[in-house]
Amino acid sequence: MNRSKSEALFAAAQKLIPGGVNSPVRAYRSVGGTPPFIARGDGSRIYDVDGNEYIDYVLSWGPLILGHRPPQVIEALREVLEIGTSFGAPTEREVDLAALICECVPSIEMVRLVSSGTEATMSALRVARGFTGRDLTIKFEGCYHGHVDSLLVKAGSGMATLGIADTAGVPESFAATTIALPFNSIEAVEIAFRERGDKIAAVIVEPVVGNMGCVPPRDGFLKALRDLTAKYGALLIFDEVMTGFRLALGGAQELYGIKADLTTLGKIVGGGLPLAAYGGRADIMSKVAPLGPIYQAGTLSGNPLAVSAGIAVLGYLKAHPEVYETIEKRTAQLTANIPEGITVNRVGSMFTFFFTTDPVVDWESAKRCDTARFKQFFHWMLDRGIYFAPSQFEAGFVSTSHSEQDIARTVDTAKEFFERADCQSAAGYQPAPHLPQLE
Ligand code: KE4
pLDDT tens for 45-88 read 999 999 999 999 999 999 999 999 999 999 999 999 999 999 99
How does DSSP classify residue 390? S
Counting ligand 1 atoms within 8 A of each CB, the residue from 241, 246, 391 with the most, and so the one to mutate, is 241
CA distances from 85 to 76, 148, 270, 420 (A): 12, 28, 15, 52
Longest dimension (CA), the chain: 65
Note the pLDDT of residue 420.
81
Note the pLDDT of residue 174.
87
Residue 431 near residue 99, CB atoms below 8 Å: no
Catalytic residues: 144, 239, 267
pLDDT tens for 89-142 read 999 999 999 999 999 999 999 999 999 999 999 999 999 999 999 999 999 999
CA of 118 to the centre of ligand 1 (A): 7
**4-68+321-423 shares its CATH topology with 71-319:** no
Q: Which amino acid is at 82?
A: E
Note the pLDDT of residue 109.
98
Q: How many residues does the chain have?
A: 439
pLDDT digit string (tens) for the chain, length 439 residues? 999 999 999 999 999 999 999 999 999 999 999 999 999 999 999 999 999 999 999 999 999 999 999 999 999 999 999 999 999 999 999 999 999 999 999 999 999 999 999 999 999 999 999 999 999 999 999 999 999 999 988 888 888 887 776 788 988 888 889 999 999 999 999 999 999 999 999 999 999 999 999 999 999 999 999 999 999 999 999 999 999 999 999 999 999 999 999 999 999 999 999 999 999 999 999 999 999 999 999 999 999 999 999 999 999 999 999 999 999 999 999 999 877 779 999 999 999 999 999 999 999 999 999 999 999 999 999 999 999 999 999 999 999 999 999 999 999 999 999 888 666 665 655 554 443 333 3
State whether the beta carbon of 146 lies less than 6 angstroms from ligand 1. Answer: yes
Note the pLDDT of residue 372.
94
C-alpha to C-alpha distance for 362 and 343, rounded to whole angstroms: 13
CA of 43 to the centre of ligand 1 (A): 22
The domain 71-319 is classified under which CATH number: 1.20.1260.10, 3.40.50.300, 3.50.30.40, 3.40.640.10? 3.40.640.10
Query: What is the CATH code for 4-68+321-423?
Result: 3.90.1150.10
How does DSSP classify residue 154? S
Residues β-bridged to residue 204: 237
| CA dihedral over 146, 150, 151, 155, signed as positive or negative | positive
C-alpha to C-alpha distance for 25 and 158, rounded to whole angstroms: 5
Distance of CA 397 to the CA centre of its chain: 10
How does DSSP classify residue 370? -
Residues with Cβ within 8 Å of 196's Cβ and at least 6 positions away in sequence, in order, are 136, 179
State whether the beta carbon of 161 lies less than 6 angstroms from ligand 1. Answer: no
C-alpha to C-alpha distance for 106 and 309, rounded to whole angstroms: 22
State whether the beta carbon of 246 lies less than 6 angstroms from ligand 1. Answer: no
Phi, psi of 404, deg, nearest 5: -60, -30
Note the pLDDT of residue 426.
59
CA of 411 to the centre of ligand 1 (A): 27
Note the pLDDT of residue 161.
80
Please name which of 168, 169, 195 lies closest in space to residue 181, comparing C-alpha atoms. Answer: 195
CA of 428 to the centre of ligand 1 (A): 33
Half-sphere exposure of 124 (CA within 13 A, CB side): 41
Residue 109 near residue 282, CB atoms below 8 Å: yes
State whether the beta carbon of 22 lies less than 6 angstroms from ligand 1. Answer: no
State whether the beta carbon of 25 lies less than 6 angstroms from ligand 1. Answer: yes
Nearest atom (ligand 1) to Cα of 117:
5
CA distances from 190 to 54, 153, 363 (A): 46, 20, 19
What does the domain layout of the chain look like in residue ranges? 4-68+321-423, 71-319
CA of 207 to the centre of ligand 1 (A): 14
Phi, psi of 338, deg, nearest 5: -75, 135
